[in-house]
């Protein structure tokens, strides 16, 4: 009897082993544990960490066949990106450059801060003129940004007179419209304080749906218009406010989302080079408001007031759920009207950024 039990037990163990091997044999390859793949992927991350490259989560929409099925091609999928513009005077090597610090703070918020960073690995593109000190751009690249050296864009004729000297290079932002390797780009000025991740903005209906150009409003001295376009902005708040402002018809030049388009870019250039066509005192903001005026051929679409961004902000905008607020929180000239709570939030964010990179230096990973 004891001998029979041992035989039965052995038979049972063999059967269990055979069943286990059969399960492994039919297991989908994607669920199999492959140590070599995991080690390779980890090595790639460690090798590229801190180099300022986009590691890629191309959030492009897959191409579909006539039957509606997703298909793969040899062409890299288009992607989404954040972008900003950073410049400084020629040979300016100051470490206390407030705009350089703001560029670092924005980079930290979009790429590293646990509450506000991208969860989809969208890159941050920083357009930078060639004359900007390389020590500064090296820092931005080391901290994760994708720095793009670019020529300053100016009007051909000397008719543009910005209200502030610091705005003299602002047309250069428009070069983003030539970067058609991206499906959508969200432009954000440097002086932004984020309260949560901005990634879901790319899924907004006004972002995903294209607008179709109207036939009316075109002028003979302007370059052709695209057949369709994507340009979504936020209404300028118009000034300090305690309550949520009413939606206006004037787009703020510091926060907009678009689809790059060479035809649209060429149209912008023709407008830029036509003296008196738009309000030149506010540079690209005046141009964009002319090109995307409500009664023109390409009216801009609006994000809901105060949802994703608002300028001239109050702390009430944060309490009402604004994902980002826009102002130079570090500027003492704003002390008479700006909400002190927002100023404190900015300095706290800058302190967290500096502490984050100080620890990285101490750990030898910077």
Report the number of secondary-structure helices (H) and strands (E) in the chain.
9, 12
Q: How far apart are CA 127 and CA 172, in angstroms?
A: 8
pLDDT tens per residue, range 204-257: 999 999 999 998 667 899 999 999 999 999 999 999 998 999 988 999 999 999
* φ, ψ (nearest 5 deg) of residue 143: -90, 10
First to last CA, the chain: 71
List all residues 6 or more positions away from 192 whose beta carbon is below 8 Å from its beta carbon: 106, 109, 254, 255, 309, 324, 325, 326
pLDDT tens per residue, range 94-120: 888 999 999 999 999 999 999 999 999
Angle at the Cα of 161 from the Cα atoms of 160 and 167, rounded to 5 degrees: 100
pLDDT tens per residue, range 2-11: 444 444 445 5
Q: For 261, how many CA atoms within 13 A lie in the half-sphere containing its CB?
A: 16
CA distances from 159 to 8, 267, 286, 305 (A): 97, 18, 14, 34
- For the record, the structure tokens of 194 come out as 């984020």
Q: Domain limits of the chain? A: 79-357
Inter-axis angle of helices 284-291 and 262-272, nearest 10:
110
What pLDDT shows up at residue 164?
Answer: 94
Is pLDDT larger for residue 146 or for residue 72? 146
Question: How big is the chain by its Cα radius of gyration, in Å?
Answer: 26
What pLDDT shows up at residue 77?
Answer: 55
The model's pTM is 0.79
What pLDDT shows up at residue 242?
Answer: 87
Mean pLDDT of the chain: 83
Mean pLDDT, residues 171-188: 98
Inter-axis angle of helices 98-111 and 134-142, nearest 10:
20
Is pLDDT larger for residue 299 or for residue 41? 299
**Among 28, 38, 153, which Cα is nearest to 87's?**
153
Q: Which 3 state secondary structure label does DSSP give 246? A: coil
Mean pLDDT, residues 335-341: 89
What pLDDT shows up at residue 29?
Answer: 31
| Residue tagged 């984050």 (tokens) | 356
What pLDDT shows up at residue 103?
Answer: 98
pLDDT tens per residue, range 257-268: 999 999 999 999
Q: Look at phi and psi of residue 50 and say left if phi exceeds 0, alpha if psi is from -120 to 50, else beta.
A: left
**Among 298, 304, 119, which Cα is nearest to 205's?**
304
What pLDDT shows up at residue 334?
Answer: 86
pLDDT tens per residue, range 22-72: 433 333 333 322 333 332 332 332 333 333 333 333 333 333 333 333 323
What pLDDT shows up at residue 44?
Answer: 33
User: With 90 as the cut, is the pLDDT of residue 289 above it?
Assistant: yes
- CATH, range 79-357: 3.90.550.10
| Residue tagged 């646990």 (tokens) | 114
Band (78; pLDDT cuts 50, 70, 90) = low
pLDDT tens per residue, range 276-287: 999 999 999 999
């Amino acid at each position: 009897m004891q001998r029979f039990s041992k035989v039965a037990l052995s038979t049972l163990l063999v059967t269990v082993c055979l069943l286990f091997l059969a399960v492994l044999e039919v297991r989908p390859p994607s669920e199999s544990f492959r140590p070599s793949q995991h080690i390779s992927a980890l090595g790639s991350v460690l090798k590229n960490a801190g180099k300022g490259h986009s590691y890629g989560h191309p959030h492009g929409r897959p191409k579909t066949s006539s039957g509606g099925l997703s298909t793969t091609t040899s062409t890299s999928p288009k992607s989404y990106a954040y972008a900003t513009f950073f410049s400084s005077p020629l040979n300016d090597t100051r470490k206390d450059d407030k705009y350089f610090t703001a560029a670092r703070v924005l980079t930290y918020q979009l790429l590293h801060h646990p509450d506000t960073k991208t969860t989809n690995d969208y890159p941050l593109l920083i357009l930078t003129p060639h004359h900007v000190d390389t020590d500064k751009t090296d820092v931005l690249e080391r901290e994760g940004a994708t720095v793009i050296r670019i020529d300053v864009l100016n009007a051909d004729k000397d008719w543009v007179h910005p209200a502030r000297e610091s705005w003299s290079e602002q047309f250069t932002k428009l070069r983003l419209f030539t970067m058609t390797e991206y499906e959508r780009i969200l432009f954000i000025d440097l002086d932004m304080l984020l309260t949560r991740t901005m990634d879901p903005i790319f899924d907004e209906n006004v972002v995903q749906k294209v607008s179709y150009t109207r036939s009316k409003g075109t002028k003979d001295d302007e370059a052709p218009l695209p057949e369709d376009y994507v340009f979504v902005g936020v209404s300028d708040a118009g000034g300090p406010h305690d309550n949520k402002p009413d939606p206006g018809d004037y787009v703020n030049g510091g926060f907009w989302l678009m689809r790059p388009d060479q035809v649209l870019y060429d149209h912008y250039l023709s407008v830029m080079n036509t003296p008196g066509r738009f309000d030149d005192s506010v540079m690209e903001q005046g141009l964009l408001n002319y090109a995307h005026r409500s009664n023109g051929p390409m009216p801009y679409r609006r994000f809901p007031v105060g949802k994703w961004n608002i300028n001239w902000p109050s702390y009430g905008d944060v309490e009402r759920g604004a994902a980002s607020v826009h102002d130079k929180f570090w500027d003492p000239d704003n002390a008479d009207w700006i909400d002190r709570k927002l100023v404190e939030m900015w300095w706290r964010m800058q302190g967290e950024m500096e502490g984050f990179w100080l620890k990285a230096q101490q750990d030898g990973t910077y």
